[in-house]
Amino acid sequence: MPKKYHIHPKATPLELDYFFKFKIVRGENCINCGKCTKVCIYQAHKRSEADPRIMADPNTVVCKNCFRCIQECPRGALEKSLDKVYLNTGGAYWKPDMLLTLYKQSEDGNVPVSGAGYRGPFTGTGFDSMWTDMSEIVRPTRDGIHGREYISTSIDLGRRLNHLVFGAEGQLISKVPDTVEISLPIMFDTPAEKLSSSIKLAMVKAAAELNTFVIIPVADITAEFEKHSDNIIPRMTASEIDTHKEIIKKARIVSVDCDNSVLNGLADLKDKIKKIGNALCIIRVPAVKDVEYTVNKLAHDGAEIIHVVADYRGQEINSPAGSGSRHLKDIIRSVHLRLVEDKLRDEVIIMASGGIALAEHVTKAMLCGADLTAIDLPLMVGLGGRIYEEQKQILVLPEGLSKLPNSVITQRMVNLMAAWHSQILEMMGAMGIREARRLRGESGRAIFFEEIDRDTFGKLFLK
């Protein structure tokens, strides 16, 4: 049995301002009795260092929202309210609570637990309309991060054979395709927003520590990235291949944007890349309407890895908002089932991205039919980035981020993946699945709200 894969988190404060959910205000009727300092175990209340006779302003950042200080104050001098910045950040998909969760996970690699229970809705749109099977959760000694059994999150990348051919004397005749193994079913993708070279370098270093890859536009790969080429996937168009032969020669995997020349000449494209080096090839396909037909053709023509990319909310690209726009989970299910029908699913790797915002989305995307996922915005949120959805998606990174030590930025990305890895292990353990490879397309381990709603109430409310 291989050694257990482990990610090493380390508490890494960012030392930059970030928003918080609540704001504590100390009123003028405070008598400076200091009772709040005694009842708050999180040290949100302290006496002023300049003058110990009076109370300092409350430290909202460390507050865990237990409200004990509010209840215990003898003069009712403390008031707590939702922070205005919190209310104006995020949007319908990237909710403020989601951003805070990612930020805190990047802080220390732990999963934030409030202890107050879940009070939100039990269903919604997108991944929120999926419930996963937790029937094995009654066996905690075997399952999850504390279990005795080995749970593997590794994934093999590359084209697969659907059968082997042997000669008359038992020798293997089939040529086994090259594969690359990564230790968790997540790659890093570079967001469309312009990033400093220090952030991109930190992404590469984090990917190397995690034994995964980061996809970077080939034009952004400079000399400082050379020693990390084993963990970089250069992204390019078919027309850029000849210009960047030296980068392709060092890469283990390259990503090529799908266009008509790729769609109609995939075999020639693969041969061209193989003659330059020995890299596997990802075909990057935008998740537009009828994307499953494009993926199916690429799989028929011998594609090794196909990357289906939705927008930042997991919706079809260039699709009008509304009920007609499919979410990533439905896109991947359609792609997966189409390949199954054509008996091609076991031969090709499907990677999904867009709208992957939480650890549970990774597992759910794989249950829908993906082999692995790629993320970009969660990494930026972990670095203090804020997302605004209206009228279009805007990512705002904090000032001074590029001036921080590169080790701090790298560690926060590693911390985020440590938290996600723990959650993926817990979900796999609760489902009784011991290998991430077995998650792919296991839709029987999930319940889809739309389906049970239709089966239960559909006949009653037919128009």
Tell me the pLDDT tens digit for each residue of 213-248. Answer: 999 999 999 888 888 899 999 999 999 999 999 999
Q: Which residue has the higher pLDDT, 105 or 120?
A: 105
**Number of folded domains that form the chain:** 2
**Residue 75 sits in the same domain as residue 151:** no
Q: Which two tokens stand for residue 50?
A: 């300049």
159, 42: one domain? no
Q: Please tell me whether residues 72 and 153 are part of one structural domain.
A: no
For 251-260, 323-332, 362-371, which range has the lowest pLDDT when averaged over its residues?
323-332
Are residues 193 and 318 both part of a single domain?
Answer: yes
Rounded distance, CA 380 to CA 195, Å? 10
pLDDT of 460 over the 90 cut: no
Q: Indicate if 216 and 71 belong to the same structural domain.
A: no
Confidence at residue 15, expressed as pLDDT on a 0 to 100 scale: 81
Q: Is residue 116 predicted with pLDDT exceeding 90?
A: no
d(CA 90, CA 34): 36
pLDDT value at position 137?
65
The confidence band for 98, taking pLDDT boundaries of 50, 70 and 90, is very high
Backbone angles phi, psi at 263, to 5 degrees: -65, -35
In this structure, how many other beta carbons lie within 10 angstroms of the beta carbon of residue 55?
A: 21
Residue pair 160/346 in contact (Cβ under 8 Å)? The answer is: yes
4, part of any domain: no
Of the given ranges (157-171, 182-196, 327-341, 356-370), which has the lowest mean pLDDT? Answer: 157-171
Is this structure's pTM higher than 0.85? yes
Amino acid identity at 366: M
Q: Calculate what percentage of the chain has a pLDDT beyond 90.
A: 62
Q: Which amino acid is at 16?
A: L
Query: Do 264 and 345 share a domain, yes or no?
Result: yes
Mean predicted lDDT score pLDDT of the chain: 89
pLDDT above 90 for 136? no
| Weakest-pLDDT range from 114-128, 134-148, 201-215 | 134-148
- pLDDT at residue 215, as a whole number: 97
* 309, β-bridge pairs: 286, 353
**Is the domain of 199 the same as that of 70?**
no
C-alpha–C-alpha distance, residues 392 and 53, integer Å: 50
Of the residues 82, 102, 127, the one at which a domain ends:
82
Looking at the fold, whether 74 and 173 belong to one and the same domain comes out as no
Residues 54 and 157 in one domain: no
Residue 14 included in any domain: no
- Is 377 within the bounds of a domain? yes
Residue 53 pLDDT > 60: yes
pLDDT at 256: 97
User: Within a domain: residue 463?
Assistant: no
CA 222/CA 312 separation, integer angstroms: 27
pLDDT at 142: 53
Instruction: Please give the Cα distance from 173 to 166 (Å, whole number).
Output: 5
Report d(CA 42, CA 47) in Å as an integer.
Answer: 14
Q: Which two tokens stand for residue 108?
A: 């220390």
What CATH number is given to the structural domain containing 183? 3.20.20.70
pLDDT higher for 450 or 273?
273
pLDDT band for position 168 (cuts 50, 70, 90): confident
Max CA pair span of the chain: 94
Same-domain check for residues 326 and 233: yes
- Is residue 99 one of the residues assigned to a domain? no
- The phi, psi pair for 453, rounded to 5°, reads -65, -40
DSSP codes, 374-407: EESHHHHHHTT-EEE-SSS-EEEPPTTGGGS-HH
Is 360 inside a domain boundary?
Answer: yes
**So what's the pLDDT on residue 328?**
96
Write phi, then psi, for 320 (nearest 5 degrees).
-65, 145
Q: Are residues 32 and 171 in the same domain?
A: no
- Written as one string, the DSSP assignment of 254-321 is EEEE--HHHHH-HHHHHHHHHHH---EEEEEEE--TTHHHHHHHHHHTT-SEEEEE--TTSBPTT--S
The domain of 194 spans: 145-455
For position 45, which CATH number holds? 3.30.70.20
Could you tell me if residue 115 is inside a domain?
A: no
- Two tokens, residue 75: 């003069």
Please tell me whether residues 400 and 320 are part of one structural domain: yes
Domain-located, residue 127: no
Exposure string (b/e) for 25-35, b if CB count within 10 Å is 16 or more? ebeeeeeeeee
